[in-house]
Amino acid sequence: MPTDPSSTVPLYILIAQDFLGLQNPSPPQTAPNPPSPADPVTMSTTTSKALDAAKSTSQQAKNSLKTMTEETSVTTSSILHHPYTRTALPFINGGLAGMTATTVIQPIDMIKVRLQLAGEGAKTGPRPSPLQVTRDIIAQGKVADLYTGLSAGLLRQAVYTTARLGFFDTFMNLLKTRAEASGSQIGFKERAAAGLTAGGLAAMVGNPADLALIRMQSDGLKPLAQRAHYNSVVDALSRIAKAEGVTALWSGAYPTVVRAMALNFGQLAFFSEAKNQLKSQTQLSSQTQTLTASAIAGFFASFFSLPFDFVKTRLQKQQKAKDGSVPYKGMADCFRKVAKDEGILRFYRGFGTYYIRIAPHA
């Protein structure tokens, strides 16, 4: 009788085999039979259907994308051609252009203000040059001090220039419509009237920001203990309103309005007139005509507006003394005292600097 092999194996070996699964190994799995070769006709039909489906899906995607693009274009076009949008665009474009120019010329504006305030009240006072003023500003602080009041300058342009160019463009469109209806052309008189009106309306709105700019730029001329050290245009406006009253934000508004009207008279009217004359009388390129017209307009704008800008700076810089007195009682008083104490030519001090400041805005 045959002996059971397992009986001769030690018990612990049997237990290990049973634990490891070696007692009853699973039968080997047979490899699946390879698929039978497909029918060539069936494969060709299936491939053709797959290609047709892919082409159909691709065409649907293209049509959907085209439809979305057309809808987006129509929506964008409808927004841009909406009456409210077309009305607002001149204001937006004017404001962005003015703010960009302000960022570039802010140091020049800083130097211009310091030149106008130098030697105040003395006919034989100091006559610093723009280079000397620049050196003094940097020596007292740092190069970044040339950008003092930039936030106020940007706010002024966002408010004043936006309204100024927007109003001028609106007035010119009305004048063009009226001229076309009557079969006539817009002349120098109409351009000048549009420029004067646009500048005057915008100046009143932007006066608080203009005042804050002058206060921030002139703060460095005071003794250290008396300086306000404004942090921003918001800080300047709030502190001025709190200390001097809200109406103080419109100090110097009268010369600001007159200055704006004179500035726009030279800037906008002469630019349009010069551009028309250059276009009809010369063969210059369009870009050269624009640059030349800007230079001409900038000169006349500087010539007409600088005396008023000078008085505006003096009036907006002044603050009441402890007894409530101020150096100048108003625009006429400032003109009279400066002409008497400092000379007529003092109104045109720094003309070159002022011209460089004005030209980019023309």
Residue 40: what pLDDT? 54
The answer for residues whose C-beta is within 8 angstroms of residue 193's C-beta and 6 or more apart is 171
Cα separation of the two ends of the chain: 124
Q: Contact at 8 Å (CB) between 349 and 125?
A: no
Residue 307 — pLDDT band, cuts 50, 70, 90?
A: very high
Confidence check: pLDDT of 303 > 90: yes
Q: Contact at 8 Å (CB) between 155 and 349?
A: no
Helix and strand tally (H, E) in the chain?
Answer: 13, 0
Q: Is the pTM of this model over 0.85?
A: no
| Distance in angstroms (rounded) separating the CA atoms of residues 71 and 94 | 30
In this structure, how many other beta carbons lie within 10 angstroms of the beta carbon of residue 19?
Answer: 9
Tokens found for residue 58? 């691709």
Q: What is the mean pLDDT of the chain?
A: 82
In this structure, how many other beta carbons lie within 10 angstroms of the beta carbon of residue 362?
Answer: 24
DSSP SS3 for 82: coil
Confidence check: pLDDT of 179 > 80: yes
Closest-CA residue to 349 (of 123, 98, 136, 143) = 123
- For 35, what's the count of Cα atoms within 13 Å in the CB-facing half-sphere? 3
Confidence check: pLDDT of 67 > 80: no
Confidence check: pLDDT of 96 > 60: yes
